[in-house]
Amino acid sequence: MKTMRHAFISAAIVGFCTGIVQGSDAAANDSQKWPVLYEFIELVTQDHPSLRASEAALAAARARARGQALPIYNPELAIGYESAEATTKELGVSQTFDWSGKRRARSGVGRAEVDMAEAANELARKTLLTEIFQALSNYHTSERIFTVAVEKEKLNEKFLSLAKRQNAAGEMPKAELLTAHLALAEARVARNNAANQLSFTEEQLVAIVGQNREIWPRLEGAPIPFAAVPTTINYEQLPELRLAQAKTEISRARIKVAKTERMPDPTVGVRVGEEGRSTLVGLSVSMPIPIRNSYKAEVQAAGAELVATQQDYYSVNRKIRARVDASLKRYSYVSEAWRLWQSQGADPLNEQRTLLGTLIAARDISAVDYLVQLNQTFATETASIELKGQLWNAWFDWKNASSTLTEWLETIQ
């Protein structure tokens, strides 16, 4: 009879988690709407320093692009006066003409810099969103683990009180009483560790968000199953690759700028004036002679920079593709583990612990058996909470790698 009871308890402990997550499963199967979470994210990102910095950098790039698209040379005005036997007065206007295409080449650099700033801004936004979501996930995981640790401590305190009464009545050996003392000490250490971890994750969350809150938005349910995840990725539209490609285009455009710098532009001037009673009209044309500096080194340097940025692009391309594949695999592993965990089926956790309490009160099981079974329930519950946190973090890693986090955010408002 005692063996059958132990078998029943062990089976219940192994599969208790289904009762915990049944509500989450129903929520995960439906289209989730979390207006509180969406409004929280909008509020945080609206005035976040990292986004404001990237937006300012984008505005600066656009202003530079507008400036680089304007004409390079302004007209020059010259006024001359000479007092001699005959007073000479002159008024002249000169203009350097961009015959070499410097303006067009610089405009290409400006456009590429805007593309780079736009990609950097998008990258900064998705990075911030990922940090916020993962910080929320880590915080709530630590919060739930702390709650479990507190409950474990309370049950161990109750068991120690029971053990003292039974020992005083001669129903429990002193060795088992000492075991109860040790179990409570271990539970208190676990609760302190959980409290420290909760404090650490809250610190990280506050540092990212920039404010402390009494209540943080929750991630309810679970992400969509792996089988429903779209895996088609347009790699060239990922901000990391767009950023690397823009750097390559900037280097290519700077080669054109360096080449146009080697070609001199003529300056044409017109003068009018009078000398005594005579009218003066003059025309001048000047052209720099690239003898002392042909600017060839600048072209060579720009060419070397293009090779460097191209190689950087290839390196980033490899890393991004590997990251996308790896993050998808990690999500598939955790998603499958979560699915298997849910499919085991068991009685609710509270019933299992109540049963254990009834058995130990009736001395149908020893204190050691009780503590082993009780600790197993808490270990299993903690494992389920950690697995849920890993599931959300793997989901956010995948959404970040595939640059679809913003799209997902739009679906929960």
In SS3 terms, the chain reads as CHHHHHHHHHHHHHCCHHHHHHHHHHHHHCCCCCHHHHHHHHHHHHCCHHHHHHHHHHHHHHHHHHHHCCCCCCCEEEEEEECCCCCEEEEEEEEECCCCCHHHHHHHHHHHHHHHHHHHHHHHHHHHHHHHHHHHHHHHHHHHHHHHHHHHHHHHHHHHHHHHHHHHCCCCCHHHHHHHHHHHHHHHHHHHHHHHHHHHHHHHHHHHHCCCCCCCCCCCCCCCCHHHCCCCCCHHHCHHHHHHHHHHHHHHHHHHHHHHHHCCCCEEEEEEEEECCEEEEEEEEECCCCCCCCCHHHHHHHHHHHHHHHHHHHHHHHHHHHHHHHHHHHHHHHHHHHHHHHCCCCCCHHHHHHHHHHHHHCCCCCHHHHHHHHHHHHHHHHHHHHHHHHHHHHHHHHHHHCCCHHHHHHHCC
77 strand-pairing partners: 93
Which pLDDT score is estimated for 202?
96
Instruction: Give yes or no for a contact between 28 and 221, defined as CB atoms under 8 angstroms apart.
Output: yes
Tell me what percent of the residues of the chain surpass a pLDDT of 90. 63
Task: Please give the structure tokens belonging to residue 241.
Answer: 């690759």
Q: What is the mean pLDDT of residues 34-38?
A: 88
Evaluate if residue 375 carries a pLDDT over 80. yes
Task: Among 47-61, 106-120, 274-288, 390-404, name the one with the lowest average pLDDT.
Answer: 274-288
pLDDT for residue 29 is more than 60: no
pLDDT at 16: 35
- What confidence score (pLDDT) does residue 274 get? 86
Contact 72, 85 (CB under 8 A): no
- Please tell me the predicted confidence (pLDDT) of residue 85: 76
Give the mean pLDDT of 225-244. Answer: 88
pLDDT in tens, 181-224: 999 999 999 999 999 999 999 999 999 999 898 899 999 888 88
Whether the pLDDT of residue 389 is over 50: the answer is yes
Asked if the model's pLDDT at residue 127 lies above 60, the reply is yes
Q: Of 1-15, 47-61, 130-144, 264-278, which gets the smallest average pLDDT? A: 1-15
- Cα(334)–Cα(285) distance, rounded to whole angstroms? 75
Q: For domain 2-73+103-250+320-411, which architecture applies?
A: Up-down Bundle (1.20)
Q: In which residue are the tokens 């995960």 written?
A: 28
> Dihedral through CA 107, CA 113, CA 116, CA 122, nearest 10?
-100
Banded model confidence at residue 362, pLDDT cuts 50, 70, 90: confident
Is it the case that residue 172 has pLDDT exceeding 50? yes
Among candidate residues 297, 315, 323, 322, the one with its CA nearest the CA of residue 248: 315
How far is 140 from 27, CA to CA, in rounded Å? 18
Dihedral-angle region of residue 396 (phi above 0 means left; psi in -120 to 50 means alpha; beta otherwise): alpha
- The model's confidence at residue 339, banded by pLDDT at 50, 70 and 90, is confident
pLDDT at 17: 35
Q: Which two tokens stand for residue 396?
A: 């956010």
Interval 296-317 mean pLDDT:
96
CA–CA separation, 110 and 68 (whole Å) = 6
Amino acid (one-letter) located at 214: E
Q: Which of 176-180, 183-187, 199-203, 244-248 has the lowest mean pLDDT?
A: 176-180
What's residue 231's pLDDT?
75
d(CA 168, CA 246): 79
Q: What is the pLDDT of residue 32?
A: 66
Among 161-175, 259-273, 337-351, 385-399, where is mean pLDDT lowest?
337-351
Average pLDDT of the residues in 221-239: 85
| Mean pLDDT rounded to a whole number for the chain | 87
User: pLDDT-derived band of residue 251, with 50, 70 and 90 as boundaries?
Assistant: very high
Entry pTM: 0.84
B/e letters for 277-296, b = 16+ CB within 10 Å, e = fewer, are eeeeeeeeeeeeeeeeeeee
Q: What is the mean pLDDT of residues 381-407?
A: 93
Give the separation between CA 112 and CA 288, rounded to whole angstroms. 30
Q: Give tens-digit pLDDT for 308-333.
A: 999 999 999 999 999 999 999 999 99
Confidence of residue 348 (pLDDT cuts 50, 70, 90): low
- pLDDT exceeds cutoff 70 at 180: yes
Closest alpha carbon to 375 in 165, 189, 158, 155 = 155
